[in-house]
Amino acid sequence: MGRFATYVMVIGLAAGFPGGEAELAEVADAAPYGRTGAGETLTLPEAIRTGLVRNPALLAQRAEAGASGADLEAALAARWPRVFTEASWHATDNPVAAFGDKLTSAQFAAADFAIDSLNHPDAVDHAGAALVLEAPLYTSGRIRAGIEAGRETSLASLARVRGAESDLVARITIAYHGVSLAAAAVLVAESAVTSASGHERVARARFENGAALKSDFLRARVHRLARQRELERKRADRDLAHAGLRLLLGLPQDEPLAVADSDMTPPADPPGDLRDWIDAAAAERQEIEAARRSSLAAAAAGRAAGAARGPEVAGTARFERNAAGLEAGEGSFFAGVGIRWTAFDRGRAARIEAARQRAAAAAATSRAIEDAVRLEVERAYRDAGVAARSLAAAQQAVAAAEEALRISVDRYASGLLPLTDLLDAETGLVEARLAEIAARHDTVIGRVLLQRAAGRLEVPR
């Protein structure tokens, strides 16, 4: 029987637990870190796999990465020719338009040269259709820079997805152990209520028999009510822990959720050298990779904006067919190369400057993220060390509190100790046990957060 079981036994026996030692042993063996009862339970690996599939925020991040990939495809497609069709119909008696429509549809006759016919033509209707091919031949680097920007943006999005997956694994792990921590706290609080109820019964009996003051009985009742309030708070914390885990897993809040016993065994090996963790974060942390890629994408976007100052050359091929109304018409083609250069554009300089500033902002953000990650690693490293040392102190405190309570129980039973001192000793053990459970939890979570900060937290694939 472990420390937790021993603690439950001590508290229960001191209170005169109504079921005897056998029932106390059953309570003590009910998993020190929160067994959820009969039925199918969710293990931590299963919870992580569920969250990676169903978490809405992660699904949104993946969708954003998919959109970035589609944007890259669109940027690559800008190198290819465009083929499109045109179709139109109109009717007019405009002299110039009517003359041109008849001519392009091969319907022009000698009578149409008459002065009156030229000046006052009859209305004609005209239908046209065309097949057009346009191909970029030279864009001053705009397409190339756009492709580079799209590629870096897509890679940055993929890095963000990997970072989000790692973050979700850490959050699910923390929430999963948090459920067990909350369940363990409920067990401790329930045992404290049982003990306090036993003390209240004893104090009441002594008062009614004239062996104790009424104030002792009232003090025992206040103590029991305080423990009852604490139990209600711990039960609410347990329900909130379950709700938080469901949220991370993308499960409905009304869906039953039972978790397996968490492995709260502290890490056996020390965290090692801080410099190694910082170097690992610089090489493996996906948020740093995403920031660097975003900086490269912004720089490429700036070059694409600057390319607007240069000329563009495009080739065009066009085949069209024109007809007078729905009658048979005439086909014709056009092919050529055109150059376009915008000598003056009032907003161009501002657009180029905006792109340059965004590139500078992205570069500064990248450096800031690297600094923030470095600080996050050091904080996690320090916190992990504090958690390990705190656990050792908490375990010593529990041992001392258990012995203090044992002595107090003996002295109270012999009439050598007032009830208030016994209740204080019991409260001290409750607080020490809760602190020990929290410290054990913190040591496990501390290593998880350190691995997450350094980009070393494994994500199931």
Taking the alpha carbons at both ends of the chain, their separation in whole angstroms is 38
Q: Cα–Cα–Cα angle for 31, 32, 38, nearest 5°?
A: 25
pTM of the model: 0.79
What tokens does 126 get?
């005209």
Output the DSSP codes for 130-152: EEEEEEEEE-TTHHHHHHHHHHH
Residue matched to tokens 């499109």: 84
Confidence of residue 8 (pLDDT cuts 50, 70, 90): very low
Compute the mean pLDDT over every residue in the chain, rounded to the nearest whole number.
87
The per-residue pLDDT for 23 is 34
Provide the residue count of the chain. Answer: 461
The percent of residues above 70 in pLDDT, for the chain, comes to 91
Residue matched to tokens 């656990």: 391
Report d(CA 399, CA 437) in Å as an integer. Answer: 13
Report d(CA 372, CA 65) in Å as an integer. Answer: 24
Summarised one tens digit per residue, pLDDT across range 48-75 is 999 999 999 999 999 999 999 999 999 9
Summarised one tens digit per residue, pLDDT across range 200-236 is 998 899 888 988 888 888 999 999 999 999 999 999 9
The residue among 181, 174, 159 whose CA lies nearest residue 451 is 174
The residue among 314, 332, 316 whose CA lies nearest residue 130 is 332
Give the three-state DSSP class for 105: coil
Summarised one tens digit per residue, pLDDT across range 108-166 is 888 888 888 888 898 889 999 999 999 999 999 999 999 999 999 999 999 999 999 99
Question: Rounded to the nearest 10 degrees, what angle do helices 56-77 and 142-208 cross at?
Answer: 180
CATH classification number, 3-453, choose in 1.20.1260.60, 2.40.50.140, 3.50.50.60, 1.20.1600.10: 1.20.1600.10
Confidence of residue 263 (pLDDT cuts 50, 70, 90): confident
